[in-house]
Structure 1
Amino acid sequence: MRILWVLPYLPWPTSSGGKTRQFHLLRSLAAAGHRITLLVQSKTPLDEATRQALQPLLEQLIVMPRRALRSPTTLLAVAASPLPMLASINGHAQALSQRFAELLEEQWDVVQIEHSYSFQPYEQALQLAAQPFVLTEHNVESALGGATYDRFPAWLKPLVRLDQWRYRRWERRVMSQAARVVAVTEADARVLSEIVGRPVPVVVNGVDAARYAQVSPAYASNRLLFIGNYEYPPNVDAVEWAMDEVMPSVWQARPDARITIAGYALPESWRQRWPDARIDWHGFVPDLTALQEQAAVFFAPLRQGGGSKLKVLEAMAAGLPVVTTAQGVSGLAVVAGIEYDGGEDAAALAAAVLRQLADPGAAERMGAAGRAYVARAHDWSVAASQLLAVYQAVNGSGRAVCE
């Protein structure tokens, strides 16, 4: 198949769940022989390492710059546009719209667009060309704003409610035009199907299960691990909650426990805010397996967010027992006490952490159960097959698209 894939960020380095998903799906489709042109609007320039990672997967890589967040155009759009804030930040890009329109003069089997907030520059060209497209939503964006909006001052709350209303209206507008809307979890698919008025297929988040199968965690190490992209507010909230309310209880019972917190855009202020020698701070780590092999438990105290969490899937694939909330395992068919441990408040999470640290043998058994679940249900080959089934339905050709 000839695929035009449209993204609002470069999918390399894989510093977030969204980027990891894009890269591995692109790699899986390319390995199956599909010919992909990737059009990216990026806030960061294309460097040589990124080019070398992506170019072998693609027929063509086109990177268009996104204007600065504080540019006059963006500030005016956010203030005056009927679009929601995220759509304004990523929209009103004339050069991108023109390049996309030129690409639509060619023949494509599938046009794949990621995230409704990225859609505005493509809407007119798609309508003029009568080009069907597939839209993937990684979250229900209109319901996701809590972690971001909670950080706004009280006097901005009326604007927050207005923006949430605008996003709900924007979702309906974008999804009504898509040939297929794709979700990443069954729960999101149910919500999105109510918005769009028809069934919404699921393409799960995945893991390179064979790679993580080589990891051997240190179940007796007394070390917890959390990894996240801290441009994403739910991950910031998770760390702040853990440090302020959960870890003090853990350390009261187990003063020898340690925690590693790693990931892209780690705030420097955290080192001063929690100056405890038992906390190891890392920035972006390209290869997670080294940190996973030093850890006994993956601790993900997530209260907000959407979709399914790649960091949780990767930890399970590595054989780490996961201590988390219901939000942390949203979209996963796992059972508390078997594939993961956890709770919904700070006391329950601290108790779950202490259970796992107290019994390395039980922690290893839980890690093995999680690893088996991920290998069965969330390998990237599973996700790629689901996506290809969506493409075949859109094509309506009845022919196999992947041998």
Structure 2
Amino acid sequence: MRILLLSDVAPDRPDQGDKIRLLHLTRRLAQKHRLTLVSFAGGDEPAGEEGVADTIFQERITMPPLSSFEKVFRTMLNPHLPAAVALRRTGRVRRLLGELLAGGDYDLVLAYQLKMGANILGFEGITRVVDLTDALSLYYGRMTGYLPAPLKAFYRLERFKTARFERRVLAGVDLCLLASETDAAYMRQFAPQARVAVVPNGVDTSFFIPQEGPEDECKLLFTGNMAYPPNEDGALFFYREVFPLVLRQCPEARLVIAGKNPPPPIRALAGDGRVEVTGYVPDLRPYLAGAAVVVSPVRFGAGTRLKLLEAFAAGKAVVSSTLGCEGLDVAPGRHLEVADEPAEMAAKAAALLREPGRAAELGRRARELVEEKYDWRVIGEQLERLLQSALGKGEYSATF
């Protein structure tokens, strides 16, 4: 099979969820198929830079990024579109796509995420697939409850425009992929006849493994891209409302916040001697190895959290909010602890700090779960079956 992939980013530096998913799914596909990548150059991936993606794609076409003027112009030119879509729906992308499809023997075109989905609509004679990953309008709807008034109004409008465009995409593609059944069920209500299937997020269980070595029995760890609003909100919520209650029960507790692009409110937490804010780390494994408990106090979002799968693979005990582990096939009390209210979350985190045997047992079961269900090898096989079904060469199944 020859696949033309259209993505906003290339997975050369897989340091956030969308790049990690793209890297591992395309790496699996490349074992059997020929892939061409069309992407924009970005801040840390300038045009022509060689990276890990060069080992995956037979051909790479990198378009120059839009200038600040072009971004403003495109948003104003397409006020009916969500901002993220308007920025990437350009004539040059569609012309390039048309030339490639006319001159190549591609079997399938795959758009990665909603922001690139507009560019594949309308092309006939080719199987069209979009990996939305998350239901973006669901995310916007949940986020508005945590925003100040001016931003709340903006994102309510974005949610309306995004939901309208998601319906358009569902009607214009042959297969739509999402990372969780929660998001898939949400999207199916827009278009019950559309082919919507789940390809979960995963983890490299050969890279993230339980580590031998010193573990700080008092250390709590929160990880993620701190520029992502759910992570910033979750870290601040945990520090302000949960961590003080943990300290009452475990005065020696420490909190590490590890992830790139921490905004000023997160960086300011480092002024507390019991908190470490790392910023970008090239390898998360030492931080996982040194933590006694990983926390995921996420209060809004969509899709699933790769941070949980990485912690599970590392054999770590996890305390999560209900939404933090949404979409994963987990059993509270068996694979992790779940709590939403600050007092209950603090009590469960403190209990695991005091009971390392219990924490180790949760970590062991969580590791078994990801080995069975969330290794990228398993997920890659599911993706392969779905793409073959979209081409009419296999049986279609909407669930993982």
**SS of residue matched to 1:61:** strand
Asked whether 1:19 is paired with 2:32, we answer no
Structure 2 counterpart of 1:27, one-letter code: R
* TM-score of the aligned structures, taking structure 2 as reference length: 0.91
* Structure 2 gap segments, 5+ residues each: 396-400
Deviation at 1:184, TM superposition (A): 1.0
CA distance in 1 between partners of 2:223 and 2:84 (Å): 25
* CA 211–128 in structure 1, closer or farther in 2 if over 3 Å, else same: closer
How is 1:337-356 mapped onto 2 (pairs within 5 angstroms)?
A: 337-356=333-352
* CA 40–77 in structure 1, closer or farther in 2 if over 3 Å, else same: same
* CA 321–79 in structure 1, closer or farther in 2 if over 3 Å, else same: farther
Deviation at 1:75, TM superposition (A): 5.4
Please tell me whether the aligned partners of residues 210 and 313 of structure 2 are also in contact (alpha carbons under 8 angstroms): no
Structure 1 counterpart of 2:311, one-letter code: A
Please tell me whether the aligned partners of residues 221 and 296 of structure 1 are also in contact (alpha carbons under 8 angstroms): yes
Asked whether 1:107 is paired with 2:105, we answer yes
**SS of residue matched to 2:62:** strand
Asked whether 1:28 is paired with 2:24, we answer no
Deviation at 1:82, TM superposition (A): 0.8
Structure 1 counterpart of 2:236, one-letter code: E
Please tell me whether the aligned partners of residues 43 and 67 of structure 1 are also in contact (alpha carbons under 8 angstroms): no
* CA 111–79 in structure 1, closer or farther in 2 if over 3 Å, else same: closer
Q: Which residue of 2 aligns with 1:3?
A: 3
Once the two structures are superposed, residues 39-68 of structure 1 have per-residue CA deviations (whole angstroms, 9 ceiling, x without a partner) of 112432635996231111110111213324
Please tell me whether the aligned partners of residues 260 and 281 of structure 1 are also in contact (alpha carbons under 8 angstroms): yes
Task: Give the one of 322, 332, 337 matched to 1:336.
Answer: 332
CA distance in 1 between partners of 2:144 and 2:125 (Å): 37
* TM-score of the aligned structures, taking structure 1 as reference length: 0.91
Structure 2 counterpart of 1:247, one-letter code: F
How is 1:166-315 mapped onto 2 (pairs within 5 angstroms)?
A: 166-198=161-193, 199-216=195-212, 218=214, 221-273=217-269, 275-315=271-311
Asked whether 1:325 is paired with 2:321, we answer yes
* CA 50–260 in structure 1, closer or farther in 2 if over 3 Å, else same: farther
Deviation at 1:216, TM superposition (A): 3.7
* CA 246–98 in structure 1, closer or farther in 2 if over 3 Å, else same: same
How is 1:122-161 mapped onto 2 (pairs within 5 angstroms)?
A: 122-123=120-121, 127-146=122-141, 149=144, 153-155=148-150, 157-161=152-156
Deviation at 1:166, TM superposition (A): 1.2
Please tell me whether the aligned partners of residues 12 and 45 of structure 2 are also in contact (alpha carbons under 8 angstroms): no
CA distance in 2 between partners of 1:156 and 1:225 (Å): 29
CA distance in 1 between partners of 2:213 and 2:365 (Å): 14
**SS of residue matched to 1:196:** coil
Please tell me whether the aligned partners of residues 220 and 360 of structure 1 are also in contact (alpha carbons under 8 angstroms): no
Q: Which residue of 2 aligns with 1:120?
A: 118
Task: Give the one of 74, 79, 82 matched to 1:81.
Answer: 79
* CA 75–234 in structure 1, closer or farther in 2 if over 3 Å, else same: farther
CA distance in 1 between partners of 2:77 and 2:47 (Å): 36
Once the two structures are superposed, residues 104-128 of structure 1 have per-residue CA deviations (whole angstroms, 9 ceiling, x without a partner) of 11121221111122223343xxx24
Aligned length: 393
* CA 321–97 in structure 1, closer or farther in 2 if over 3 Å, else same: same
CA distance in 1 between partners of 2:184 and 2:293 (Å): 30
CA distance in 2 between partners of 1:38 and 1:367 (Å): 37
Structure 1 counterpart of 2:83, one-letter code: M
Identity %: 31
Please tell me whether the aligned partners of residues 45 and 65 of structure 1 are also in contact (alpha carbons under 8 angstroms): no
Q: Which residue of 2 aligns with 1:98?
A: 95
Once the two structures are superposed, residues 133-169 of structure 1 have per-residue CA deviations (whole angstroms, 9 ceiling, x without a partner) of 1111211111101565457652464443332211111
* CA 107–5 in structure 1, closer or farther in 2 if over 3 Å, else same: same
CA RMSD of aligned residues (A): 2.3
Once the two structures are superposed, residues 214-239 of structure 1 have per-residue CA deviations (whole angstroms, 9 ceiling, x without a partner) of 52475552111111112311111111
Deviation at 1:72, TM superposition (A): 5.3
**SS of residue matched to 1:307:** coil
Structure 1 counterpart of 2:2, one-letter code: R
CA distance in 2 between partners of 1:245 and 1:79 (Å): 43
Deviates more, 1:356-365 or 1:139-148: 139-148
Structure 2 counterpart of 1:139, one-letter code: D
Deviation at 1:263, TM superposition (A): 0.9
Structure 2 counterpart of 1:224, one-letter code: L
